[in-house]
Structure 1
Amino acid sequence: MGMNLSQVQALKLKLTPAVYQAISLLQYNTQDLTKLIHEQAEINPFLSIHDWSGSSSMYGVGSHGMNNSTSTTDVIEQTIANGSGFREELRSQIQVMSLSPEVQKTCFLIIDSLNDNGYFEEDMLTLSHALRVPIKQLENALSIVRTLDPPGIGAKSLKDCLSLQLKRQTNHSTFAMDIVTHYIDCFITGEWVRAKEALDMSDEELHDALQDIRALNPTPIVSGLETRDAKRYIIPDIYITKEGHELKINDEMGQIPNVSIDSNYVDELKGHTDPETNHYLKEKLKEAEWLLMGITKRKQTLIKLTELCVNYQRAFFESGKWESIQPLTMKKIAEQLEVHESTISRAVSNKYIQAPFGIVSYRSLFSKGLSSSDGEVSVFYIKSLIQKIITNEDKSKPLSDRKIVEALNDKGITLSRRVVSKYRTECGYLAASKRKIVKKKQD
């Protein structure tokens, strides 16, 4: 058989280092970005960090649009029980694996796409278009991420999460995987007789299987990586102050090191004649430029995003009352900024705003809308109504969830009893039977 030489034209999507840098930095909060800048400055001779004591940029959101002024604010820290450094630990696990640079970068993108519980909820096709990475490449990276610790990382659903954990175990009940795969709904319905008969289990075998399943973790991050960093501090990425009738947005760049390219090293680059040294310095200069571009892009995106959120949630930022939150989706903001929805999701991840009344997470500004006789209302508004209904009830005859449904119906809001029960629980109220206060009889 002879050999033929032929040309093949193919279209390939490739993520450039600059684009990858910008996407990655968008995910970083102030703490993580500060740490990254210091780390890069230690290994890149072109990066120079300066003391930053200047005033921060201020963006006013008044009744007639935006204006600029300057001001400074103090660093506000708030201790929280749940950290956000699990992505960094996952990246460190990837770095010690024998992977090509391209595969490693794609794994980092998958890690950045995980939600705060370690689940992967992105649509692959949508993510592929947004990142310009082939679906097969993303799927391969996801399969690698799913092998990391703690078990369950990268799961697409609760069933998937529990299955991943069981696959790592060698001593679990032989029926545990069958129950998770085919009868996980029984944990909600309680129809264990159906599962028992279908799998031909004895009472003891069912008991052992359920014991193994209940020992699994539906949110591996909570008891896995996050517990290693039990105390974290929130440093807000954006500060909002109220001056008269105007809300001012402060990007607080004073909290992020002022980094620039050292001109002395740039001049030195021009004087080198050794090809190997020249190549090294040129690569480092490119990396420094990409980092600065990524920081600038992150700042611009965060400011534009905040301006829109403040405009939509003005009543909330002025009053500090959660019931003032208006229905708002990331898709709506993405359309106005002409970016993909996943970009907004990355931009708000693990980031906080210092509002005039306290610290607020970006994600809490987004709330789905529910229909009412007066139009769409947010979940926060409905919860506030439930709180008022329960607060004003007769404590000796507390209202059942069905009665709360009827009370909401009178206000033009139609919800199922199950949804009301869910919101009541999230508000911290027990069921009616456990809220009842029996009055003592007087002699």
Structure 2
Amino acid sequence: MSSMQRLELRQGQSLVMTPQLLQSIKLLQLSHAELAAYVEAELERNPLLQEAEGRVKAPRLNPAAPAPSSEAPTLRMVPRSAPTPSGSGSDSSARAVAASTGELGADLEATLARAVSLAEHLETQLDLATADPQQRAVGRHLIHSLNEAGYLTENLDDIADTLHVAADEVMAALRLIQSFDPAGIGARNLAECLSLQLKERDRLDPAMEILVSRLDLVAKRDFVTLTRLCGVDDEDLAEMLAEIRRLEPKPGLAFTPARVEVLIPDVLVRPSPEGGFIVELNPDTLPRILLDRSYYSRVVQSVRSDKEKDFLSECLQSASWLTRSLDQRAQTILKVATEIVRHQEDFFREGVAALRPLTLKDVAEKIGMHESTVSRVVANKAIGTARGSFAMKFFFNVALGDAGHSAQAVRYRIKQLIAGEAAKGIVLSDDAIAQKLKADGIEIARRTVAKYREILQIPSSAQRRRTAETKAHAL
């Protein structure tokens, strides 16, 4: 057998993920705050980029208006002359509001009180609970021994040895701290934390004590053994487990400083005088940058070395790409938001009960984009409406049953039914709620009602009935 070498030319197609394409994908899923930080870094790095002055004219679409041409409108971020002091209209009003808000924000920031720490919160209660200097000293040591979740992990005998006090004194101080707010604080394990909270709610009966002591069986979902040990039936056990799930396993975290994020809409929706709704990008979240070609023209004439030419060429290419990518990002967000508003138009008129089922695939097919692109647009974005600001993901709901009701709308309906119990003097079981929903054309199982009720953090019918009876006796 002989071997022979030959040269063949073949033609094929393949997708090449260039650095620019990868960066465009990354820009699409950034929140406006993350995008602002990225653009700020590019402004510092690239001398050919310039921050535009004035207010950006945001593009807008009316979903109810005649369909636009296939060519998408182009968003040009160009500088505008500064407004005169006597300017009028929505732009000048918005600028006045922004200016006053900025001034007020600076004053508020200077006067905001520092958040109280867990230790400070507990020490205040300790000083009110006891005047005994030694008990206060032991209590303070215990307070500062708690971890972030509010648990005491140090051995009590070791603490007694360290402080040179009797072990029963340490235990007495711990019991005192465990009576403080928040409930469950100072526990030495999860079972004790849950028991303290149940005791505070007057719900630590013998059956619940057994259940809390056997959390290992709860983790294994060994419900048969649990019903036998607790001496209850399946329905009672389910209610007990639901009550435990509503407890706070880490009470100390409530005092952990957390970053507060304000939901600033990327897209604004308002009614159109001609009918339907106008969808427009929020000008305050659009980056204001320009490619300074005049500066490039001046600099390029003085460039001499190849290194300088390469740097200037790279800056020009990067700046051109960034301005185009930001333009494309804005148009893509606008197209996705417009389709969401068109599909969920009833929500903007009537509220949550009118939400319709919607998937990423539905939007992708309507606007001719890939589903993954829609997913990136929806991430970290929000829509501002007259009803408030909503994350874009809020408008995507799975369908329940053949009638096409959204899960969000069904949960809202369940909440309404339970909220109306007091006026009618009745307490609806999960099965009764399922029957009422069926009468309204919403076919869902009782266990689905129970799952949605738990998501809404609404107690079971038995617990609501006990609460109602307690209030009636109090009156």
Q: What's the TM-score, normalizing by structure 2? A: 0.56
**DSSP 3-state at the match of 2:50:** strand
Q: Cα gap change, 1:442/1:323 in structure 2, threshold over 3 Å: closer, same or farther?
A: closer
1:346 to 356, 376, 383: 376
Q: Counterparts in 2 of 1:70-219, with a 5 A limit?
A: 72=91, 73=94, 187=219, 189-190=221-222
Counterpart residue number, 2:117: none
**Corresponding position: 1:19 with 2:21:** yes
Shift of 1:384: 2.7
Alignment partners' CA distance in 1, 2:42 and 2:391: 28
Secondary structure at 2:51's aligned position in 1?
strand
Structure 2 counterpart of 1:257? 287
Q: Give the Cα–Cα distance (whole angstroms) in 1 for the partners of residues 343 and 217 of structure 2.
A: 39
The CA deviation string for residues 398-432 of structure 1, in whole angstroms up to 9 with x for no partner, is: 22212222222333322222211111122332101
Q: Within the alignment, does 1:33 sit opposite 2:35 as a pair? A: yes
2:428 matched to which residue of 1? Answer: 399
Distance 1:5 1:43, change over 3 A: farther
The amino acid across from 1:190 in the alignment is D
The aligned counterpart of 1:310 is: 341
SS at match of 1:56: coil
Range moving further from structure 2, 281-290 or 295-304: 281-290
Q: Which amino acid aligns with 1:391?
A: A
- TM-score (normalised: structure 1): 0.60
> Which residue in 2 is equivalent to 1:420?
449
Q: CA deviation at 1:63?
A: 5.5
Q: Does 1:431 align with 2:460?
A: yes
> Which has the higher mean CA deviation after the structures are superposed, 185-194 or 233-242?
185-194
- 1:250 & 1:234 partners in 2: Cα distance? 17
**2:357 maps to what in 1?**
327
Partner of 1:273: 304
Q: 1: distance between equivalents of 2:14 and 2:257? A: 41
Count of aligned pairs: 302
Distance change in 2, residues 1:300/1:411 (3 Å): same
* Alpha-carbon shift at residue 48 of structure 1 (Å): 0.8
User: CA 1:324/1:442 → structure 2, altered by over 3 Å: closer, same or farther?
Assistant: closer
Q: C-alpha distance in 2, partners of 1:413/1:58? A: 36
Larger radius of gyration: 2
Q: Equivalent residue for 1:171? A: none
Closer/same/farther in 2, CA of residues 192 and 392 from structure 1, 3 Å limit: closer
CA 1:189–1:416 in structure 2 vs 1: closer, same or farther (change >3 Å)? farther
Contact kept? 1:61, 1:249, Cα under 8 Å: yes
Partner residue in 2 for 1:148: none
| In 2: Cα distance, 1:7 partner to 1:363 partner | 53
Q: Equivalent residue of 1:230, what SS?
A: coil
Q: What secondary structure sits across from 1:232 in the alignment?
A: coil
In structure 2, do the counterparts of structure 1 residues 383 and 332 end up closer, same or farther at CA, with 3 Å as the change threshold? same
> Offset of 1:64 from its aligned partner?
4.6
Q: Does 1:368 align with 2:370?
A: no
Match of 1:385 among 413, 438, 456: 413
- 8 Å Cα contact 1:60/1:66 also seen in 2: no
Q: How far 1:367 moved relative to its partner?
A: 0.9
SS of the residue corresponding to residue 421 of structure 2 reads coil
Q: Is the aligned partner of 1:293 residue 2:321?
A: no
Contact kept in structure 1, 2:400 and 2:407, CA below 8 Å: yes
Q: RMSD in angstroms over aligned alpha carbons?
A: 3.8
- Pair 1:234 & 2:263 matched: yes
Distance 2:474 2:56 in 1: 70
The offset of 1:11, in angstroms, is 7.7
Question: Does structure 2 conserve the Cα–Cα contact (< 8 Å) formed by 1:57 and 1:252?
Answer: no
Identical-pair percentage: 25
Q: 1:61 offset after TM fit, Å?
A: 3.3
Q: Displacement, 1:361?
A: 1.1
* Farther-moved stretch of structure 1 (410-419 vs 328-337): 410-419
The whole-number CA distance in structure 2 between the counterparts of 1:408 and 1:262 is 61
- Shift of residue 385 of structure 1? 2.4
Q: Distance in 1 between matches of 2:370 and 2:281?
A: 23
Contact kept? 1:371, 1:377, Cα under 8 Å: yes
Deviation (angstroms), 1:389: 2.5
The one of 24, 45, 48 equivalent to 2:47 is: 45
Higher strand share: 1
Letter in 1 for 2:219: F
Q: CA deviation at 1:36?
A: 1.3
Amino acid at match of 2:221: T
1:91-133 residue CA offsets vs partner (Å, 9 max, x unmatched): xxxxxxxxxxxxxxxxxxxxxxxxxxxxxxxxxxxxxxxxxxx
Q: Is contact 1:323–1:381 with CA below 8 Å preserved after alignment?
A: yes
Aligned pair in 2 of structure 1 residues 64, 264: CA closer, same or farther (>3 Å)? Answer: closer
1:306 is aligned with what amino acid? A
**AA in 2 matched with 1:29:** S
Rounded to whole Å, the distance in 2 between the matches of 1:328 and 1:185 is 40
The one-letter amino acid of 1:324's match is A
Query: Is this contact kept in 1: 2:48–2:296, CA < 8 A?
Result: yes
